[in-house]
Amino acid sequence: MTDLRVELPGLSLKNPVMPASGCFGYGREYSQWYDLSELGAIMIKATTKEPRFGNQPPRIAETEAGMLNAIGLQNPGLEKVMAEELPFLEYYDVPIIANVAGSTIEDYVYVSEHISKAPNVHALELNISCPNVKSGGITFGTDPVMAYELTRKVKTVSEVPVYVKLSPNVTDIVAVAKAVEAGGADGLTMINTLFGMKLDLKTGRPVLANETGGLSGPAIKPVAIRMIYQVSQQVKVPIIGMGGIQTAEDVIEFLYAGASAVAVGTANFIEPLICPRIIQKLPEVMEQLGVKKITEFVGRSHKQYA
């Protein structure tokens, strides 16, 4: 029997696979496709203090082996998420990781304090890496000092463990990771999207109304693997990895790199059943590799030779 369970701060996961934030809404749509209790966890869409209406469309552009999005953190705001979305998810036996975003440190602290009280929110994920909003967001993720400060403040109010989501758009990902670890982060999630753009052949103008967007999908996997490989050797807190995952084999590559669990983003749009399919496939691949416990994969790319 293969053992898919993973224990992380605040999270007892049945298996290491969860949908990534922003790629699964608040679960309602995908609940029509399968029982959400099958998932390791759910990372819900970014929640801000006030409702956000996001960017103008077009918000989506396809690229080679990837896509750009510029949603702009559209969400109904903390109050509605607490009142309408989180209670819906209580019907399922699955821990929720609440993705928190804001423009100021105070915003993050406010949302974190409240949303961490929801009974099914088992952890927070601070989104300091959204490339699609004008203020806040990514600036926290690219400056280690601000990232440290934000993490520290949120830690003082959160009732659940705090994970910080790192931006790949930085010169030194290890420096940011160490800063948020020093700020008290219980874990890291990485990576958010790469900052990209596409132009229309006919008009010459950006395809996205927001001009630039976040690049996700298989195209970015090598960058994600590299960053997790580097960071996991320099920090002690666990990592939830993401970026282009499509298959059970991809999941194992992320674990090898040093992630303890993974999130699937873009692939949900192409295969609504991708998460349960990967979860079902994992034991088979583990057997082929002669591995009984999924945790044995973690960090194998460096640990076995350390």
Partner 1 sequence: MMQEQMVVKKHSSIAKDIYEMVLAGDLVRQIARPGQFIHIKVGSGIDPLLRRPISIAELDRDRCEITILYRAQGKGTKMMAEMNPGEKLDVLGPLGNGFPVDALRHGQKALLVGGGIGVPPLYELSKQLKARGVEVRHVLGFESAAHAFYIDQFSALAPTSVATVDGSRGTKGFVTDALAGDGWNFDCIYACGPAAMLRALETEYPGRRGFFSLEERMACGIGACYGCVCRTKNSPDNATKKVCSDGPVFEMGEVLI
Active-site positions read 130
Q: C-alpha angle with apex 217: 212 to 219, nearest 5 degrees?
A: 85
CB of 224 closer than 8 Å to CB of 190: yes
Residue 55 interacts with ligand FMN (CB under 6 A)? no
Stretch that binds ligand FMN, among 113-121, 135-143, 197-205, 237-245 (CB under 6 A): 237-245
CB of 166 closer than 8 Å to CB of 191: yes
Confirm whether residue 40 is marked as ligand binding.
no
Q: Is the peptide bond before 138 cis (omega within 30 degrees of 0)?
A: no
Helix or strand or coil: residue 235?
coil
Give the up-direction half-sphere exposure of residue 42: CA atoms within 13 A in the CB hemisphere.
Answer: 31
Q: Is the peptide bond before 16 cis (omega within 30 degrees of 0)?
A: no
C-beta nearest to ligand FMN: residue: 22
Q: Nearest approach, Cβ of 184 to partner 1 (angstroms)?
A: 31
Please, which residue, 117 or 303, has the CB nearer to its own copies?
303
Stretch that binds ligand FMN, among 90-98, 116-124, 170-178, 262-270 (CB under 6 A): 262-270
Please, which residue, 8 or 220, has the CB nearer to its own copies?
220
Element (H, E) at 277: helix 274-289
Residue 48 interacts with ligand FMN (CB under 6 A)? no
Stretch that binds ligand FMN, among 9-17, 68-76, 149-157, 297-305 (CB under 6 A): 68-76
Distance CA 252, CA 260 (A): 10
Distance CA 44, CA 86 (A): 9
Sign of CA dihedral 149, 151, 155, 158: positive
Site mask, its own copies, residues 196-235, x = CB under 8 A? Answer: xxxx-xx-xxx----xx--x--xxxxxx-xx--x------
CB of 2 closer than 8 Å to CB of 283: yes
Residue 133 interacts with its own copies (CB under 8 A)? no
Please, which residue, 71 or 224, has the CB nearer to partner 1?
71
Confirm whether residue 266 is marked as ligand binding.
yes
Residue 238 interacts with partner 1 (CB under 8 A)? no
Distance CA 57, CA 106 (A): 29
Closest by CA to 210, choosing from 54, 76, 99, is 54
Residue 25 interacts with partner 1 (CB under 8 A)? yes
Helix or strand or coil: residue 26?
coil
Helix or strand or coil: residue 12?
strand
Among 116, 210, 266, 301, binds ligand FMN (CB under 6 A): 266
Extract the tokens encoding 138: 């990514």
Q: Which residues bind partner 1 (CB under 8 A)?
A: 22-25, 28-30, 32-33, 45, 51, 53-54, 57-67, 69, 71, 74, 217-218, 246, 266, 268-273
Positions that interact with its own copies (CB under 8 A)? 63-66, 68, 142, 169-172, 194-199, 201-202, 204-206, 211-212, 215, 218-223, 225-226, 229, 244, 249, 252-253, 256-257, 289, 297, 300-301, 304-305
Residues annotated in a binding site for substrate: 45, 69-73, 127, 192-193
What is the binding site for ligand FMN (CB under 6 A)?
Answer: 20-23, 45-46, 69, 71, 73, 99, 127, 130, 165, 192-193, 214, 216-217, 220, 242-245, 264-267
